[in-house]
Structure 1
Amino acid sequence: MKPICPRLFVYGTLLDSANSYGAYLQQHCTLLQIGKFRGKLYDAGEYPAAIIDTNIDQYVQGSIYVMDEPGKILAFIDDYEGFGDDQEQPNLFVRELTTIETSSGMIECWVYVYNFPVDGLLLIKSGNYRL
């Protein structure tokens, strides 16, 4: 069986240690470095919504974490992100492996991307939810 990728790219509310799921990540993961992927970031109200688009020159910025126990942590975060067969269908977010650009090269990471149309959502032009 192929091992689960141990890295998670986070760009939104999970970066906030005041968020209980964000605090969980900080307790069970190690911050590796910052990074970005080609795509767009939108304001969906209570949370950001990122989409991957490798054909544009815009980026979603965030942080890469190395998970202590990837299977356990991903299952916990899947619940928060509304991802999985046991969640409302279609899922609000989907978890995908994607390539993250960093100052030291390209790194494959899990990322949660928005799974609904972005029509009517406000584009966050900076690509950084924390600004």
Structure 2
Amino acid sequence: MNDNACLLFVYGTLLVKHNQFAAYLQRHCTFISKGRTRGTLYDVGEYPGAIIDDSGGYVYGSIYSIYKPDEVLPILDEYEGISPNDLQPHEYVRLLTPVETDSGLTNCWVYAYNWPVDGLKIIDGGDYLGYKAF
């Protein structure tokens, strides 16, 4: 990957203002727009997990432009538990995923949940911030 801008879609704790990694994201990225991607959002406990699929639902979040992805993504990967030092299978995977905006579709990196969702509560409406009402 080079230092060209890339896009990241975030839907969970990276949107929470008092989260130190959300603050890191704000310092190293530029907000582009709100967006949504097809899938189902689950309450994993202290954070959500999105399963990207064509189930008919949507996961809502924000799109950010990362100008130095070679520096920023490894830090976010570590936060999300997918660094090379983290045990397999990772709880999340980082995927390029189509995200809908008012301007159309764009491909973004997204941290998708990678563990079984049996017994997890679905977050109706796919909006984590609305669900948690921070």
Give, in angstroms, the shift of residue 96 of structure 1: 0.4
Give 1:116-127 correspondences, 5 Å limit: 116-127=115-126
Give, in angstroms, the shift of residue 18 of structure 1: 0.7
Local SS of the residue matching 1:88: coil
- In structure 2, the partner of 1:128 is 127
Give, in angstroms, the shift of residue 2 of structure 1: 6.8
> Where does the alignment leave 5 or more consecutive residues of structure 2 unmatched?
none
CA contact (8 A) 1:5 1:110 kept: no
Relative to structure 1, the CA distance from residue 116 to residue 61 in structure 2 (aligned partners, 3 Å threshold; closer, same or farther) is: same
Give 1:34-113 correspondences, 5 Å limit: 34-54=34-54, 56-113=55-112
Normalising by structure 1, report the TM-score. Answer: 0.94
CA contact (8 A) 2:5 2:65 kept: no
Relative to structure 1, the CA distance from residue 80 to residue 68 in structure 2 (aligned partners, 3 Å threshold; closer, same or farther) is: same
Local SS of the residue matching 1:14: helix
Give, in angstroms, the shift of residue 85 of structure 1: 2.6
Local SS of the residue matching 1:100: strand
Q: Distance in 2 between matches of 1:5 and 1:106?
A: 17
Relative to structure 1, the CA distance from residue 98 to residue 5 in structure 2 (aligned partners, 3 Å threshold; closer, same or farther) is: farther
Give, in angstroms, the shift of residue 5 of structure 1: 6.2
Q: Distance in 2 between matches of 1:19 and 1:88?
A: 24
- In structure 1, the partner of 2:17 is 17
Give, in angstroms, the shift of residue 125 of structure 1: 1.1
Local SS of the residue matching 2:75: helix
Percent sequence identity over aligned pairs: 52
Which AA in structure 2 matches 1:24? Y
CA contact (8 A) 2:3 2:70 kept: no
* RMSD across aligned positions (CA): 1.5
Higher helix proportion, which one?
Answer: 2
Deviations 1:61-92 (A, max 9, x none): 00000012111110000000001332111111
Normalising by structure 2, report the TM-score. Answer: 0.92
Give, in angstroms, the shift of residue 51 of structure 1: 0.5
Q: Distance in 2 between matches of 1:87 and 1:105?
A: 35
Q: How many residues align?
A: 130
Which AA in structure 2 matches 1:103? D
